[in-house]
Chain A
Amino acid sequence: MTEHDTPRELTIVSLFPREMNIYGDSGNVRAIERRAAAHGFAPRVVAVNAAAEFPERADILVGGGGQDSGQGRVAAELAALAPRLRELAAAGAPMLMICGMYQLFGHRFVTHTGEELAGIGVLDVETRGSGERLIGNVVVESPDFGEIIGYENHSGHTFLGPAARPLGRVTLGAGNDPDSGAEGARVGNVIGSYLHGSLLPKNPALTDFLVGTAAERRYGAFVPAAIDDATAERARASAKRRPR
């Protein structure tokens, strides 16, 4: 029996699902799991709610959004993981961080009241809290992933440094802040975004990027399987027709 006959494992690390899972972000983990299996891998999901739970091997990392109150507690645990996460990011591990975790993957988050929450600086961005909440449907045109469809609900405004480039430009909605027209950030294979809803089930191109990148890093190559995305395509089309 060759190595190829046993399903090849991919470890998906779900960061702080207990605190950072308020806008249905669990759907992202489900989407990666399902997609990885459809491409012939054996996905294994590891939930990390404390730094000590971080596994030996991490092929794909995912994080979600949370309440402001949860974010402070997570920031402390995340700081303990920072060296490991920076190392993984530098080595090219694919990561997707939504909303609150996107903010904490940046340099800092300065709240509306002037309180500063340190991030881990994997993404060259910083966030300032504001009294203005950006809420509604979003359509993004991304050079890497085509059209991305989602929903945003955040009061933090995020600004990109020179080492980060936006995930895309909004054609509907606000994105990182009310003015720049940019949504999300990408540094290497680390993606940050404000889109939840959940993001990945309706955006299989992004899911394939995460799975494919992880597969190439771990097994040297990624040969995508043909997957029927008809339902996701219809859901994208309906969402795109909706007003802000």
Chain B
Amino acid sequence: MRDFVTVLIGKTVRMAARLRGGGSALPGLVVERIDPGFLARSLAHLPHGVVAVSGTNGKTTTTKMIVEMLEASGLRVFTNKTGSNFSRGVVAAVIQEGNLRGRLDADIAVLELDEAHAVHFVAKVKPRITLLLNVLRDQLDRFGEIDTTARLLQVIADATTETLVVNREDALVRAIGERALAPGGSGLGVRMFGLSEELLATFPSDADLLGAGDAPAPALPDADVTLVGVGDHAGTFVMDGERYETSLQLEGLYNTFNAAAALSLVRVVLGAGGGAPLDPERNAGLVAALATVRPAFGRGERLTLDGVSLDLVLVKNPSGFRLALASFPPEGVDCMIAINDNYADGRDMSWLWDVDFASLAPAGVDTVAGVRAWDMALRLEFDGVPVAAVEEDLSAALAGFRERTGAQPRRIYCTYTAMLALRKELATLTEVEDIW
């Protein structure tokens, strides 16, 4: 009865909020207030339990890959696909997709959890399997320091009941896995995904940035899934001693590495967590499903404007920006960079100084835009990158960018709120996928 009342109130609030035109998390907020135990009760019914995905970079796309691979394997998956990755966003999604008793028509939940809010979430709901992607310098003004973020991820790991899947190449995340394995540790199952030695150099980490890359590499444990080759929209993975090569629709090197994370997580779900190898046919099936995954919104999203392609690339921290620059060749593309400094972007602009923009110098940047356009312009000046126009106002900047370019494909690197604003503007000019 309690579930019924809660769901009814939640669904009513949702309807009211939608009539007013917004508020994806509002029903969640209301339900959390009136019935704090609702979420745990409703997720407890899922036969395969809850999978949590956390880390600073790549949660949304990785979650999308996991969901689509699990669905291709025949599981019904509940997920928070709107990017509302806080606890109340998950509640709102349960209200929306569940029946009137708050029961989900699903076998498993795969939830993207923002690392700070995840701590509150796992106090209520214990994930069966947790995937920890990375601890990068992202929004330090929110969390203070990298070490703090690592501690938040440790809390999620501690709440996990069965298996951790961790990034072997991220020292802080690997340490969380190693602590679980150590004598006296939690005794959770631990799987790792990693990179071949040759690829390590292609993926600059924050530790390298800080100079730790000079130290000799420690001997690393074996990885469950290893990314051994990358190409233009292609990746080669090693699982159970076999190589699997596939094309990918996802953009960027980092998404290719996140695909290894998603593969490892899905293998744990399908292999019942025991670490037994999957037969090659099933591995090949997963890779085939991976090949069809399209980018999540703003994560290397491709639109068409004025008859040429326009790529939106979300950049939110130095590692992400560096990897994006390494992923997308600057030649033959007109480029715009839009930098805002609102809360969701990170207020602190110092991260721009941790990115090397010299690769943009030969082709130049057409437009620099956003609230902190001039910080970005100053940064580019230091790296000798010519800039045609600097315009803080995003609409005016986009109009100017359109006017000056169009003979070749366009690309916009943008921070989170700049991306939201640009998508809104672009939606009046061309077809942009609805995100809610």
Where the two chains meet, the residues of A that have a C-beta atom closer than 8 Å to any C-beta of B are 17-19, 21-27, 30-31, 34, 49, 67-69, 133, 135-137, 151, 153, 155, 196-198, 201-202, 231-232, 234-235, 237-239, 242
Contact = CB atoms under 8 A, between A and B. Distances in A.
A22 B137 contact: yes
23 contacts: A19-B210, A22-B145, A23-B348, A27-B353, A27-B382, A30-B353, A67-B145, A67-B147, A68-B145, A133-B144, A136-B347, A153-B348, A197-B348, A197-B353, A201-B379, A231-B377, A232-B378, A234-B377, A235-B374, A235-B375, A235-B378, A238-B375, A242-B347
A26 B353 contact: yes
Interface of B: 137, 140-141, 144-147, 209-212, 214, 341, 347-354, 371-375, 377-379, 381-382, 390, 392
Given A22-B210, A23-B350, A24-B354, 6 more contacts: A19-B210, A25-B353, A26-B354, A153-B144, A197-B350, A202-B378
Which of A25, A49, A231, A234 has its CB near the most chain B CB atoms (within 10 A)? A231
Contacts of B211: 17-19, 21, 49
Nearest to A70: B210
B364 to A, nearest CB: 15
A232 B378 CA distance: 6
A238 B372 contact: yes
Contacts of B373: 238
Given A151-B349, A197-B348, A197-B350, A231 B146 contact: no
B350 A238 contact: no
A136 B141 CA distance: 8
Nearest to B211: A18
A145 B118 CA distance: 45
B41 to A, nearest CB: 35
A interface: dominant SS: mixed
Contacts of B209: 21
Contacts, number: 99
A151 B378 contact: no
Contacts of B379: 27, 201
A43 B410 CA distance: 38
Nearest to A49: B211
Contact of A198 (B145, B212, B350, B372): B350
Contact of B141 (A27, A153, A155): A153
Nearest to A19: B210
Contacts of A21: 209-211
A30 B384 CA distance: 12
A143 B377 CA distance: 29
A231 B381 contact: yes
Contacts of B144: 133, 135, 153, 155
A16 to B, nearest CB: 9
A137 B349 CA distance: 10
Given A231-B374, A231-B381, A238-B374, A68 B147 contact: yes
A189 to B, nearest CB: 24
Nearest to B215: A18
B286 to A, nearest CB: 38
Given A234-B377, A238-B392, A18 B354 contact: no
Nearest to B209: A21
A230 to B, nearest CB: 10
Closest 6 CB pairs of A and B: A18-B211, A24-B353, A24-B350, A27-B353, A235-B374, A234-B374
